[in-house]
């Protein structure tokens, strides 16, 4: 009803606008404000409450998830490897359950889920517990859930949970739960990085500061970009049948998520590629009818993404860039349209970069008059295999 939507036309839009509050609430819950790098604190910068039997001697982390949660897991893998220094694998739960990796000792297994009830994710976690139970204790399963549903089946199967504080999501296309799961991975990676001294306290402090800016930075995107994105959306509501999304490094999962949002609610075919892979296939698809969205956040791979985007432009593709305000002028030479986000450290940039893509998909679907909150053939929670 309108009352529940609080004046928003759809739940999805309402949930996009709830993201600053959700991130704020997760920061309030998990960040230790007393922690200061220069005081050499002997406790963690985050309070996620993981017991030592979950985190000691970790050699390996494996993550199982489906859909949008799988994209959050890919951002998580980047953080766990690049910040905490722990080798991490990510599998679709539906694949993992039938082809699990050989067991590695001292493994943390993470299930990421917005509903807490996805059948494949439940089965993957249960089978992981079962196949390790009779082995030497160092092989025993350590199961962690990253979810907004503390009362769910998956939360109960697991030994620990990070409650992402997103609350219940109604729109079938996940938005706020994705951002909140991603925040959960930042907290986990920071906690493990601190315990293992994988990066300096100074670096931890910088990342925490970056995260603390996120709520107001998302507000800036909502306040300054939403109208322009809606305007842009009108270009893709009639003829456009395919979209390509590209990104690299920590923002490749954001390209995947941008493409998934578009497919789910606008029924426009969209594919995402790591930008460097364009030349190995998708570039053959490009012409002036196939827009390309490049997630081009300043940092280690910015120049690479720009040059990959220029290759697309040479094939007459309409080029849309997601980049920061400071880079917008320079990027203006490359992109036909720019979705601007505030200045941000690359390591926390996915949480911002996803927001304009959510808004773009939302408006394309809404302008087409589609049922944004209940897209055809999709369910909010997939409780059958």
> Which residues of this chain interact with ligand G6P, rule CB under 6 A?
66-69, 113-115, 118, 121, 172, 174, 378-382
Element (H, E) at 293: strand 292-295
3-state DSSP call for residue 230? helix
Residues 6+ apart with CB under 8 A from 86: 58, 59, 60, 61, 80, 192, 196, 198
Residue closer to ligand G6P by CB (options 129, 380) is 380
Residue closer to ligand G6P by CB (options 67, 321) is 67
CB of 66: closest distance to ligand G6P in angstroms?
A: 4
Determine the residue with CB nearest ligand G6P.
67
Residues 6+ apart with CB under 8 A from 32: 43, 44, 45, 46, 47
CB of 258: closest distance to ligand G6P in angstroms?
A: 14
Write down how long the chain is: 385
Return d(Cα 173, Cα 181) in angstroms, integer: 14
CB of 124: closest distance to ligand G6P in angstroms?
A: 11
Question: Which residues does residue 256 pair with via DSSP β-bridges, in sequence order?
Answer: none
CA 36 to chain centre: 28
Question: How would you list the strands of the sheet with 319-324, edge to edge?
Answer: 269-274, 242-247, 292-295, 319-324, 337-341
Residue closer to ligand G6P by CB (options 25, 152) is 152
Residue closer to ligand G6P by CB (options 14, 318) is 14
Residue closer to ligand G6P by CB (options 120, 191) is 120
CB of 132: closest distance to ligand G6P in angstroms?
A: 22
Return d(Cα 362, Cα 383) in angstroms, integer: 26
Catalytic residues: 380
CB of 283: closest distance to ligand G6P in angstroms?
A: 29
């Amino acid at each position: 009803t309108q009352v529940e939507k609080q004046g928003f036309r759809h739940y999805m839009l309402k949930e996009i606008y709830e993201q600053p509050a959700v991130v704020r609430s997760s920061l309030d819950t998990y960040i230790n404000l007393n922690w200061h790098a220069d005081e050499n604190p002997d406790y963690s910068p985050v309070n996620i409450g993981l017991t030592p039997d979950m985190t000691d001697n970790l050699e390996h982390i494996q993550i199982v998830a489906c859909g949008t949660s799988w994209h959050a897991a890919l951002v998580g893998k980047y953080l766990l490897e690049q910040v905490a220094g722990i080798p991490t694998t990510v599998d679709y739960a539906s694949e993992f359950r039938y082809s699990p990796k050989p067991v590695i000792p001292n493994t943390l297994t993470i299930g990421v889920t917005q509903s807490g009830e996805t059948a494949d994710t439940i089965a993957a976690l249960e089978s992981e517990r079962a196949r390790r139970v009779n082995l030497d204790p160092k092989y025993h399963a350590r199961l962690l859930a990253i979810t907004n549903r503390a009362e769910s089946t998956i939360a109960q199967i697991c030994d620990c949970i990070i409650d992402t504080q997103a609350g219940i999501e109604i729109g079938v296309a996940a938005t706020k739960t994705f951002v909140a799961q991603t925040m959960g991975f930042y907290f986990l990676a920071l906690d493990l990085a601190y315990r293992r001294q994988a990066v300096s306290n100074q670096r931890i402090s910088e990342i925490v500061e970056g995260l603390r800016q996120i709520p107001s930075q998302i507000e800036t995107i909502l306040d300054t970009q939403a109208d322009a994105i809606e305007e842009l959306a009108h270009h893709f509501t009639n003829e456009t049948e395919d979209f390509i999304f590209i990104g690299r490094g920590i923002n490749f999962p954001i390209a995947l998520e941008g493409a998934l949002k578009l497919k789910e609610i606008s029924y426009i075919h969209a594919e995402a590629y790591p930008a460097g892979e364009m030349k190995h296939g998708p570039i053959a698809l490009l012409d002036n009818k196939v827009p390309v969205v490049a997630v081009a956040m300043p940092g280690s791979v910015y120049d690479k993404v720009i040059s990959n985007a220029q290759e697309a432009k040479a094939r007459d593709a309409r080029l849309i860039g997601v980049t920061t305000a400071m880079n917008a002028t320079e990027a203006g030479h490359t992109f036909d349209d720019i979705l601007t986000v505030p200045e941000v450290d690359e390591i926390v940039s996915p949480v911002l970069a996803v927001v304009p893509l959510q808004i773009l998909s939302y408006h394309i679907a809404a302008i087409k008059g589609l049922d944004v909150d209940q897209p055809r053939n999709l369910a909010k929670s997939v409780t059958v295999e």
